[in-house]
């Protein structure tokens, strides 16, 4: 089969032939149709020890038809239209039993990373992801697609689930105003698109520059206002220029999502703009230290939370929303490529000139 494989210390994927995966009992072989690639996955391949099984096939987005089923697999047959919920977890711990499987100590992602040693057993078996003609997956990860849901829509759901879960952790009340730091990235824009489902009345998005907003203005709801870092006075990082501008734009900010694209100063000042009792959820990957005075959190009754990945229950919720036409999950797809040309997408990510959002890859 044709696959795009990531090798250690290389900058482009190798599009090459590899053996079609063999399946065992409890597994499904998917004839993949649509997948995707994004900046975060590319960065992790090049820099993170959590992507330890190299070479590997990238992409946690998998949607296609069942090609074969292993023994002990019930309810699925060849030809069924399906997607894979590509978060791997133990299925037995308190997190998995409570629907928070993204926090499972054994969590890993097909086509992506493992979060710790406990996730290696599953990751070694299923580390190959969606940039291939065929994908092996545990039958427990398979979701059948309702007729109205296309493969391209289904392929986006795990990514949208990251933003959906982060929003769900804000503990919002109807009519809330939220800030989104990093709204011009695909996940920040997805959060803005999903926000009305959580009763959000208004969003203030933080972006680096007016130029970076050129595409996003047409893609997010009309209830979104913007603050750009380039419009702030020089030296804003050492003061509270962003905090003041956010308050001028919104009056009161109830909660915030932070995708950390512009450095820790923007994150700290976004937190500082929250009303008393506000919640901020951090979603992006940033290794900078986040330092705050203890009394600041205590006196303002603030909650600072993390959020990673997306659980199985969220995938099922998004499938229902997609089937009902409640959200256009392809609205943020900015570029489309064939599998053989996937490196054009990698170059696009590296170049940044066209400011790609979600990049869809046709794996047929």
Per-residue pLDDT, 38? 92
Report the CATH fold assignment for 2-161+309-362. Quinone Oxidoreductase; Chain A, domain 1 (3.90.180)
Residues of the chain within CATH 3.40.50.720 domain(s) are 170-306
Closest CA to 306 of 279, 272, 337, 277: 279
Written as six digits, the tokens of 314 are: 């969220």
Per-residue pLDDT, 181? 95
ω before 15 within 30° of 0 (cis)? no
Report the CATH fold assignment for 170-306. Rossmann fold (3.40.50)
Name the burial class of residue 334, with classes exposed (0-12), middle (13-18) and buried (19+) by CB atoms within 10 angstroms of its CB. Answer: middle
Per-residue pLDDT, 262? 63
For residue 32, give Cα distances in angstroms to 58, 135, 154, 176: 13, 7, 12, 40
For residue 207, give Cα distances in angstroms to 50, 234, 332: 29, 16, 17
Sign of the Cα pseudo-torsion (93, 98, 101, 104, in order): negative
Per-residue pLDDT, 12? 98
Distance separating alpha carbons of residues 64 and 151, to the nearest angstrom:
6
Tens digit of each residue's pLDDT, the chain (364 residues):
999 999 999 999 999 999 999 999 999 999 999 999 999 899 999 999 989 999 999 999 999 999 999 999 999 999 999 999 999 999 999 999 999 999 999 999 999 999 888 899 999 999 999 999 999 999 999 999 999 999 999 999 999 999 999 999 999 999 999 999 999 999 999 999 999 999 999 999 999 888 888 888 888 888 899 999 999 999 999 989 999 999 999 989 999 999 976 688 999 999 999 999 999 999 987 778 888 889 999 999 999 999 999 999 999 999 999 999 999 999 999 999 999 999 999 999 999 878 899 999 999 8
Residues of the chain within CATH 3.90.180.10 domain(s) are 2-161+309-362
């Amino acid at each position: 089969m044709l696959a795009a494989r990531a090798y250690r210390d290389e900058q482009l994927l190798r599009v090459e032939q590899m053996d079609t995966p063999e399946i065992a009992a409890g597994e499904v072989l998917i004839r993949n149709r649509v997948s995707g690639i994004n900046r975060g996955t590319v960065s992790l391949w090049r820099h993170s020890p959590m992507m330890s099984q190299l070479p590997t096939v990238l992409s946690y987005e998998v949607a296609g038809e069942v090609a074969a089923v292993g023994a002990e697999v019930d309810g699925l047959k060849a030809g069924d239209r399906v997607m894979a919920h590509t978060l791997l977890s133990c299925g037995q711990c308190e997190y998995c039993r409570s629907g928070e499987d993204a926090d499972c100590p054994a969590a890993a992602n097909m086509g992506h990373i493992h979060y710790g040693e406990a996730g290696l057993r599953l990751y070694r078996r299923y580390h190959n992801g969606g940039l291939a003609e065929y994908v092996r997956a545990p039958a427990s990860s398979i979701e059948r697609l309702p007729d109205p849901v296309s493969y391209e829509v289904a392929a986006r759901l795990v990514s949208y689930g990251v933003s959906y879960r982060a929003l769900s952790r804000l503990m919002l009340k109807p009519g809330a105003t939220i800030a989104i730091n990093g709204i011009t990235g695909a996940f920040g824009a997805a959060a803005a698109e999903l926000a009305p489902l959580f009763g959000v009345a208004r969003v203030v998005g933080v972006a680096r520059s007016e130029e970076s907003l050129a595409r996003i203005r047409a893609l997010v709801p009309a209830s979104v206002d913007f603050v750009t870092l380039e419009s702030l006075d020089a030296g804003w990082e050492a003061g509270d220029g962003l905090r003041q501008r956010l308050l001028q734009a919104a009056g009161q900010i109830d909660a915030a999502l932070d995708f950390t694209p512009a450095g820790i100063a923007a994150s700290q000042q976004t937190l500082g703009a929250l009303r008393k009792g506000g919640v901020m959820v951090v979603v992006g990957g940033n290794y900078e230290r986040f330092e705050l005075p203890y009394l600041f959190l205590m006196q303002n009754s603030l909650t600072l939370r993390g959020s990673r990945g997306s659980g199985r229950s969220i995938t099922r919720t998004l499938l229902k929303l997609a089937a009902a036409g409640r959200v256009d999950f392809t609205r943020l797809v900015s570029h489309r490529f064939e599998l053989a040309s996937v490196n054009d997408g990698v170059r696009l990510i590296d170049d940044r000139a066209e400011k790609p959002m979600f990049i869809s890859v046709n794996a047929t």
